[in-house]
Amino acid sequence: MVKNSTPRPRKLLVYLYVPNIVGYVRVLMNCFAFAICYSNKKLFSILYFLSFVCDAIDGWCARKFNQVSTFGAVLDMVTDRISTACLLVILSQVYSPGLIFLSLLALDISSHWLQMYSTFLLGKGSHKDVKDSTNWLFRAYYGNRKFMGYCCVACENLMDGN
């Protein structure tokens, strides 16, 4: 047998990337936050907000440390969608009419699915690559981090109601 002298990169390393560790912390914060959402609204709000801040931090870490991965992108997107879904379901239980929040949930999931699927069909590497889009709003949202940040913060504040 001939031994290969070239070291193989360890595949498990991606799970220990800094942005992915931030993502795991987000998952844990959200699990705890939603477990106590009815009994401790203030702590829930703080944890949900910190998870939202960590969403920005994990993207920054991925770019800063050049630790971008498909696993991290999926972890981030799934965590975002589940967090938003849980929040909208809770709001639908607390406020009337709840159908408004459930409609927003359907819009959130379907719009993200359509954006991701169209990205896949076009063979792009990221759903944020909208340079050639004819839609001015997509270009403004994904092309300007300040505008995107403003939209995200405004959305979270409007949904949280605090």
What angle, 0 to 180 degrees and rounded to 10, lies between the N-to-C axes of helices 70-94 and 145-160? 30
Question: Quick check: 91 and 99 in contact, CB under 8 A?
Answer: no
Question: Quick check: 101 and 95 in contact, CB under 8 A?
Answer: yes
Tell me the catalytic residues.
80
Q: How many helices (H) and strands (E) does the chain have?
A: 6, 0
Whole-number Å distance between alpha carbons of 28 and 47: 10
Question: Quick check: 148 and 142 in contact, CB under 8 A?
Answer: yes
Joined together, the tokens standing for residue 44 give: 């829930």
